[in-house]
Structure 1
Amino acid sequence: MIQAHCKTPDTCVAVDDPKNAAFVNGKFCKNTNLTVAEDFLYQGLNIPGNTSNYVGSIVNLITVDQLPGETTLGMSLARIDYEPNGQNPPHFHPRNTLSWLCHIQPSKVLNKGDVCVFPLGLIHFQFNIGHTNAVAIAALNSQNPGVITIANAVFGSNPPINPDFLARAFQSDRKVVEYLQARF
């Protein structure tokens, strides 16, 4: 058990009610005299998510909406649970400003305790190649990084992208594109 002191005058705890609050970084900030330790605490990262869905994974993203005290701190966390063969489909984070440069192999197997960094704007994905459930913890340097899943953006856009255009772009058949659009 760790005891931590979480109240400082330089914090911005997000609140929904603008009464007696300042507007900072897209959120209203609670009067610092009213902040409490719970504003800086999220409990539940240890709880596995339900992976019984089409992709076999679930992302529990902890942003400023779940952890109000992280406003202006430029960070968020995620727990990703995978069943065997579960995947976190190809995606990127439009408001995540990672600027580290590193060489990422086209496919890299990560083992327990390994860390991998994805550069700014890189489309990335994960796939559990193991025979048991797996968990990943992600740290993002934005209080609200957002996520754009490629398949949803391409085949589930509203209004839909012209299937002839997509067929040509993906060097595929219009019927295949229409099938995929119908699934989204």
Structure 2
Amino acid sequence: MKGVNNFLVTFSLLALASTFASASDPSPLQDFCVAVNGTKNAVFVNGKLCKDPKLATADDFFFSGLEKAGNTSNAVGSKVTPVNVDQIPGLNTLDISLARIDYAPNGGLNPPHTHPRGTEILVVAKGTLYVGFVTSNPDNRFITKVLKTGDVFVFPVGLIHFQFNVGKTNAIALAGLSSQNPGVITIANAVFGSKPPINPDVLSKAFKLDKEVVKYLQTQF
């Protein structure tokens, strides 16, 4: 009997540890929770401000236009068209979103960035992409692959990753993300384009660059 009690205590402690270690959002306790900005016709569900489910319509779960090519006439030669909770209010609490990425020929780049709240799975709809991500400290391993039409690649949550068009024609990819709003931190923009700017002495030491080079890079963002 004592052994059974010890087992039950150990099992209970492991269950509690698993509960406390979990960092994900709680599962929704209703079919959906259409996000609203105002309090009119809204109710709190799971601590979120949501439209009364009886007032939900098909448009709350709908987005149109993903077939349209994004404008890649910019400095990096790419355009991300997001489909997250800002575009589809019905995605609220559902832990999923989508994006279309267009890449200009010969070097269109979705520059190194992270999604702090979501893992990304990417499928190449057209073209050839050189992709990769870097693992966390201390290893900082670079894991990379050249993808062709129909290939799929996964970028784990929070890790720095990129896609680069190595083909001579435009490329298109579709990405699914495990968050209604995964967030994006573009590394170069955040480091060299912060407002107000980071002290050049800090960046000079961190990147082992001359301070004048750092100042020049800051002017580019």
TM interval, shorter chain, is 0.7 to 0.9
Aligned equivalent of 1:170, options 194, 201, 207: 207
Structure number with higher strand proportion: 2
8 Å CA contact 1:15, 1:27 repeated in 2: no
- Deviation >4 Å, runs of 4+: 24-27
Paired-residue identity, %: 64
1:31 counterpart = 2:52:
yes
SS across alignment from 1:107: strand
Q: Using the alignment, how far apart are the partners of 2:52 and 2:157 within structure 1?
A: 34
Question: Any stretches of 5+ residues in structure 1 without a counterpart?
Answer: 1-8
Residues paired across the two proteins, number: 172
Q: Using the alignment, how far apart are the partners of 1:86 and 1:34 within structure 2?
A: 43
Larger radius of gyration: 2
- Aligned pairs for 1:115-154 (under 5 A) are 115-154=152-191
8 Å CA contact 2:117, 2:157 repeated in 1: no
- Aligned pairs for 1:4-153 (under 5 A) are 10-24=31-45, 28-84=49-105, 85-96=107-118, 106-153=143-190
Q: Report deviation, 1:22.
A: 2.0
8 Å CA contact 2:114, 2:159 repeated in 1: yes
Question: Any stretches of 5+ residues in structure 2 without a counterpart?
Answer: 1-29, 121-134, 136-140
- Classify 1:162/1:49 alpha carbon distance in 2 versus 1 (closer, same or farther; 3 Å): same
Q: Report deviation, 1:28.
A: 2.7
Q: Report deviation, 1:105.
A: 5.7
TM-score normalised according to structure 1 size: 0.86
8 Å CA contact 1:25, 1:72 repeated in 2: no
TM-score normalised according to structure 2 size: 0.73
Q: Report deviation, 1:106.
A: 3.1
